Amino acid sequence: MKTINDLSPGDVFFSVVLPVFNREEMISKAIKSVLQQEFPFWELIVIDDGSTDGTRKVVESYTNDPRIKYVYQQNAERSAARNNGIELSAGDFICFIDSDDYYLNNHLSELYKTISANNFKEALYYTHYYKEISGKRVEGKMFSEIRNKGLYNIFHESLLQTNSVCIHKNLVKDHKFPLEFNLFEDNHLWIRVIALSGLIYSRTPTTVMVEHDSRSLRTDKEGLLKKTGKYEAVLTDLLLRDKYPFLDKYLSFKDRKRFLAAKYIVLAYEALVMGEVVLTYKLLFKSLRIDIDLKRAPEYIKLLAGTPFYVLMQKNGK
């Protein structure tokens, strides 16, 4: 593998995959953030997943830089778009960025520093990140010491943000984003890859995930029920079937059940915010049937005792 001293203009060390669908008003910031990287040996592969707005025109205004490539595909959802980008990648390491987010200038240089410090190990590399809310940055949740290859951290602390992930190309030859899911599909892949290789973490923030109205899933009761069904399907596929036996070595059945139960608690809070008392209780008791975690006792009490009061306050406009 070439080190930075071996690279020449035009060489590619990082391939950055950017899937997009109808983001003509946002995608420029993502592209510019790649153009402004301190580390110059990259390519950006923009996979247009069937946009019907002016996305193509915006992206093609940047393709005078030969490192930027535009590829159009019929709409097939983001997993297919990212998989397409992986197949077209020329770099030793593959990074990802969403069309409504952006990199800080140090993202690829910090990744390279971390990769080289680990002797270019074939692994999943991950950098710390910011969330941008109403134009203000706040740091995301930082991992503690990496344990159990990083699977402990994902299951007990926080899921991975796609923009901060970088994977050696050999790890995605046989493992791709699952096409049948459009929720949790990214961490479905990250968990499999980490079980096979490991997570290497940089505490330096290098990416920004932007919160905005069109990103937030503002849903009704029916939408939340569909979302719950999708979570059940994807987590059952990953964790509760014998589809990926190599996970058994690192994830106990207890870990898997506790993780699924925690997801139902998150969904219960979403139902609470919508004022859906019955649905809140259903999701809470579904979580408790799967696993009871005493550390979550305050959350259980809040959902059990606080739901009617919260809904009454919402109805009174307070």
Specify the DSSP class assigned to residue 289.
Answer: H
Q: In the prediction, which pLDDT does 1 show?
A: 74
Domain of 97, CATH number, reads: 3.90.550.10
Residue 295 lies in a domain: yes
Identify the weakest region by mean pLDDT among 49-53, 286-290, 309-313: 309-313
Residue 10 lies in a domain: yes
Under the banding of pLDDT at 50, 70 and 90, the label for residue 23 is very high
Q: Which of 211, 229, 255 is the last residue of a domain?
A: 211
36 and 141 housed in the same domain: yes
Number of domains in the chain: 2
Range of the domain at 239: 221-315
135 and 271 housed in the same domain: no
**CA neighbours closer than 13 Å in the CB half-sphere of residue 110:** 22
55 and 191 housed in the same domain: yes
Residue 59 has pLDDT above 90, yes or no: yes
Amino acid at 145: E
- Say what percent of the chain tops pLDDT 70: 94
Residue 127 lies in a domain: yes
List, in order, residues 6 or more apart from 116 with CB less than 8 Å away. 3, 4
Answer for the pair 137, 130: CB distance below 8 angstroms, yes or no.
yes
Identify the weakest region by mean pLDDT among 148-157, 202-211, 215-224: 215-224
Q: What is the pLDDT of residues 119-173, one digit of tens each?
A: 999 999 999 999 999 999 999 999 999 999 999 999 999 999 999 999 999 999 9
Residue 234 has pLDDT above 70, yes or no: yes
139 and 250 housed in the same domain: no
Identify the weakest region by mean pLDDT among 134-148, 184-198, 199-213, 295-309: 295-309
280 and 177 housed in the same domain: no
Residue 188 lies in a domain: yes
58 and 203 housed in the same domain: yes
Q: In the prediction, which pLDDT does 132 show?
A: 96
57 and 166 housed in the same domain: yes
Residue 28 has pLDDT above 70, yes or no: yes
- Say what percent of the chain tops pLDDT 90: 75
10 and 86 housed in the same domain: yes
Q: Is 136 helix (H, G, I), strand (E, B) or coil?
A: strand
Which residue reads 């299951």 in tokens?
A: 155
Q: Which of 211, 243, 278 is the last residue of a domain?
A: 211
Q: Which of 187, 211, 235 is the last residue of a domain?
A: 211
261 and 125 housed in the same domain: no
Residue 309 has pLDDT above 90, yes or no: no
Question: Residue 222 burial (CB < 10 Å; 0-12/13-18/19+)?
Answer: exposed
118 and 256 housed in the same domain: no
Q: In the prediction, which pLDDT does 308 show?
A: 56
What's the rounded Cα separation, in Å, for the pair 81 and 230?
A: 20
171 and 202 housed in the same domain: yes
For residues 276, 158, 142 and 162, what is the CA-based torsion angle, rounded to 10 degrees? -100
174 and 239 housed in the same domain: no
Residue 216 lies in a domain: no
Mean per-residue pLDDT of the chain: 92
List, in order, residues 6 or more apart from 300 with CB less than 8 Å away. 284, 288
Residue 280 lies in a domain: yes
Q: What is the pLDDT of residues 236-272, one digit of tens each?
A: 999 988 899 999 999 998 889 999 999 999 999 988 8
Residue 233 lies in a domain: yes
**Structure tokens that stand for 252 in this block:** 């106990």
Residue 230 lies in a domain: yes
Residue 230 has pLDDT above 80, yes or no: yes
Answer for the pair 91, 172: CB distance below 8 angstroms, yes or no.
no
Residue 2 has pLDDT above 70, yes or no: yes
